[in-house]
Amino acid sequence: MDELVIHGGTPLMGEVTVSGSKNAVVAIIPAAVLVDGVCRIENVPNISDVAVITELLTRLGAVCTRLDDGSLEIDSRKVNKYNPPHELVKKMRASYYLIGALLGRFNNAQVCMPGGCNFGHRPIDLHIKGFEAVGATVDEVGEVITAYTDELKGGSIYLDFASVGATINIMLATVRANGVTTIENAAKEPHIVDVANFLNAMGANIKGAGTDTIKIIGVDRLGGGTYSIIPDQIEAGTFMIAAAATRGDVLVKNVIPRHMETLTAKLTEMGVTVEEFDDSIRVYAPTRPTRARVKTMPYPGFPTDLQALMVALMALAEGISSMTETVYDNRFQYVDELRRMGADINVDGRTAMIRGVPKLVGANVTSMDLRAGAAVLVAGLAAEGKTVINTMAHIDRGYDNIIEKMTALGASLERVSIAEKV
Ligand code: UD1
C-alpha cells in the first residue's frame, strides 16, 4: 500500500493536460463486448479502474492490448462467458455495465453486485427495471444478479431518477435488440453522450443522447472501428479547484469548456478569474476566494463528483458557504478529515455549512473514497505544512499520473510505499 505525503502551501502555476474521461472509458470498455470486430479506443487514462475492467474483459475471453500511444485495442469476438469473476467485479462500481453488455450480446448475464465508492445506498433497481422492460427476466439471488431472455425487444422506460448507470446500461442492453427502445428522463452527463457516440461509431443507431429522451433503434451487428474518449470533466474540475484553493494560476488543457460551465460559474461567483478558450481553461486566483452556495444536481447541474473538492475550497473561502448534496444520501463522510486540517464545517442532513478559515494546516488524513481522496489532496496542497494521506488506492482509481501532473505545477508531493517505511 502507498501513502501520499504532501508539503503544502505552494500556489500551483503552469499548464496541465487532462486525460481521458474515467466514467466514459469504464463504460466504453464493457461496451466493446457488443462489438463483433476489433475496436481501438484512444485517449484511455492510465488508472486502476481501467486495469480492472480490462482484466474483466480478458477473463471473459476478449483480447485486450494496450498500445504504446495509450490506446487500447479490444477484440471481443472470442468472448464466450457471461459470468465475470466475482472478486474482480467487486473491485469497482462500473462493472455493473457488464450486465447490460453481456445481456445485449448473449441474452444472458450473471454478474454479482458491484463494489466501488461507498457513499450511501446505491441500488440498481432502475437498471433492472430497464432490462425487464425490454423482455429480460432478472433474478437476484444473494448478491448475484442473473438476467436472461430468449429475445430482447425494444420497449419504453421512464427513469424515476436520471441515473447515469441505468441510462448507459439500458443503452448497452438494447443497442442490438429487436425494435426501438426509448429512455425517458435519461441522464445527460457528458459520458453518456460519449458512450452513445462510441456505439454509433461502431454501427449503432442511438439518437438523443445528452437530452431527456434517448431513442435506441436496434441494429443486427456492431463492427469495429476507432474512437477517442472525451476529456475527463472531473479531473479538469479537480485542477481548476486546486488552482483556486492554492491561489495559483493554471491553464487546464484538453477540456471541453461547456462541460465545466457550472463550476466556472461558481468559481467566478467566488471571485476567481476563469478564462475560457477553445479547449482549455485558465484559473487565476491571486486573492482569497469568497463564499458560495452550491447544490449538486445531475448534469448540467453541479456534479456530485466535485462536491467534496468544492467543500475543500469553501473551507478556505471568506465567509460562510453552503453545500447541499441531492444525488447521494451520505456523501459527507470525508468532512472529519478536512476538520483535522482546521476546516470549520457542520453537516446537517444533506447540507454542509462551511465557515471559511484563512488557512488549513497539514495533518494525517484518510482517503475515504475516490473524490474524497482528491479533496484531501487539494486541501493538503493548499495547507501549511505536511499532510499524509493514508492510501493512494482510491486516488489511483481515477487520476492518471496525478503526482507527476501536480509536481509539474510546482507542488511538492510524493508517493511513499508503506513497506519502505517499515
Ligand atoms: C455515476 C458515476 C459517479 C457519479 C454518479 C452521479 C460512473 C462509473 N459513476 O454513478 O461517479 O457520482 O454517476 O453523477 O459513471 N439510483 C437508484 N437506483 C438505481 C440507480 C441509481 O436509486 O438503479 C440512485 C443512486 O443511489 C444515487 C443516484 O440514483 O442516489 C445517482 O446514481 P447514478 O446516477 O446511477 O450514479 P452511478 O451510475 O452509480
Enumerate domains of the chain plus CATH numbers. 2-19+231-421 (3.65.10.10), 22-228 (3.65.10.10)
277 C-beta neighbours (distance < 10 Å), count: 12
Atom of ligand 1 nearest to the CA of 164: 34
Atom of ligand 1 nearest to the CA of 125: 23
Atom of ligand 1 nearest to the CA of 189: 14
Q: Is the pTM of this model over 0.95?
A: yes
Our mutation pick for probing the ligand 1 site, out of 25, 48, 122, 263, counting the most ligand atoms within 8 A of Cβ, is 122
What's the CA gap between 174 and 130, in Å, rounded? 10
Looking at residue 422, its pLDDT comes to 52
Looking at residue 117, its pLDDT comes to 52
pLDDT digits (tens, 9 = 90+) for 167-224: 999 999 999 999 999 999 999 999 999 999 999 999 999 999 999 999 999 999 999 9
Our mutation pick for probing the ligand 1 site, out of 49, 140, 164, 191, counting the most ligand atoms within 8 A of Cβ, is 164
**Which residue lies with its CA nearest to atom 29 of ligand 1?**
163
Looking at residue 274, its pLDDT comes to 98
Higher local confidence (pLDDT), 93 or 302: 302
CA of 321 to the centre of ligand 1 (A): 26
Our mutation pick for probing the ligand 1 site, out of 327, 350, 399, counting the most ligand atoms within 8 A of Cβ, is 327
Task: Find out whether the beta carbon of 91 lies less than 6 Å from any atom of ligand 1.
Answer: no
Looking at residue 421, its pLDDT comes to 58
Q: If you count them, how many residues does the chain have?
A: 422
377 C-beta neighbours (distance < 10 Å), count: 29
* pLDDT at residue 50 is higher than 80: yes
Looking at residue 113, its pLDDT comes to 83
Mean pLDDT of 393-407: 97
Q: For helices 97-106 and 48-60, what crossing angle results, to 10°?
A: 30
Atom of ligand 1 nearest to the CA of 234: 11
**Which residue lies with its CA nearest to atom 26 of ligand 1?**
122
Q: Which backbone phi and psi does 341 adopt, to 5 degrees?
A: -95, 5
pLDDT digits (tens, 9 = 90+) for 133-163: 999 999 988 889 999 999 999 999 999 999 9
Mean pLDDT of 83-106: 94
CA of 163 to the centre of ligand 1 (A): 5
Looking at residue 116, its pLDDT comes to 56
Contact predicate 1/391, CB 8 Å: yes
* pLDDT at residue 33 is higher than 70: yes
CA of 404 to the centre of ligand 1 (A): 30
CA of 363 to the centre of ligand 1 (A): 31
The verdict on whether 64 is a catalytic residue reads: no
- Quote the mean pLDDT of the chain: 95
SS3 of the chain: CEEEEEEECCCCEEEEECCECHHHHHHHHHHHHHCCCEEEEECCCCCHHHHHHHHHHHHHCCEEEECCCCCEEEECCCCCCCCCCHHHHCCCHHHHHHHHHHHHHHCEEEEECCCCCCCCCCCCHHHHHHHHHCCCEEEEECCEEEEECCCCECCEEECCCCCHHHHHHHHHHHCCCECEEEEECCCCCHHHHHHHHHHHHCCCCEECECECCEEEECCCCCCCEEEECCECHHHHHHHHHHHHHCCCEEEEECCCHHHHHHHHHHHHHCCCEEEECCCEEEEECCCCCECCEEEECCCCCECHHHHHHHHHHHCCCECEEEEECCCCCCCCCCHHHHHHCCCEEEEECCEEEEECCCCCECCEECCCCHHHHHHHHHHHHHCEEEEEECCCHHHHHHCCCHHHHHHHCCCEEEEEEHHHHC
Rg (CA), the chain: 21
Helix or strand (DSSP H, E) at 235? helix 233-245
Spatial neighbors of 269 by CB under 8 A, at least 6 apart, are 292
Residue 97 corresponds to which cell in the numbers above?
455495465
Residue 62 corresponds to which cell in the numbers above?
476478449
pLDDT digits (tens, 9 = 90+) for 222-244: 999 999 999 999 999 999 999 99
Residue of 350, 413, 390 whose CA lies nearest to 119: 350
Looking at residue 142, its pLDDT comes to 85
Residue of 315, 246, 344 whose CA lies nearest to 13: 246
CA of 166 to the centre of ligand 1 (A): 8
pLDDT digits (tens, 9 = 90+) for 103-126: 999 999 999 987 655 555 678 999
Looking at residue 268, its pLDDT comes to 98
Residue of 382, 390, 392 whose CA lies nearest to 412: 382
Mean pLDDT of 34-51: 97
Mean pLDDT of 46-52: 96
What's the CA gap between 329 and 346, in Å, rounded? 16
